[in-house]
């Protein structure tokens, strides 16, 4: 399953990653040494021009991926 990957500590960080097993997802979490939050991708099916402002290189993948993983590497509330 494909996910948009973001970080709590960065408004600019964005990548796309595909996980084929739950084990690969858990390994990803362990590799990052932080908890992860799996949630709906807020950018999914949004206006592409709006997305381009934030993610100029990955905008089409961000818009077409329904789920997001946030690497919870900083405090937010």
The domain spans of the chain are 2-71
pTM of the model: 0.81
- A 10 A CB-CB count for 68 gives 20
Read out DSSP for 36-68?
A: EEEEE-TTTT--HHHHHHH-TTTHHHHHH--EE
d(CA 20, CA 56): 27
Euclidean distance between the first and the last CA atom of the chain, given in angstroms as a whole number: 28
pLDDT in tens, 17-68: 999 999 999 999 999 999 999 999 988 887 777 777 777 666 777 788 899 9
């Amino acid at each position: 399953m494909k996910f948009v990957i973001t970080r709590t500590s960065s408004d600019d960080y964005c990548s796309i990653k595909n996980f084929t097993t739950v084990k690969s997802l858990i390994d990803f979490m362990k590799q990052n040494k932080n908890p992860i939050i799996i949630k709906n991708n807020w950018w999914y099916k949004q206006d592409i021009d709006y997305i381009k402002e934030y993610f100029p290189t990955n905008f089409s993948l961000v818009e077409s991926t329904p789920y997001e993983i946030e690497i919870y590497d900083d405090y937010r509330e």
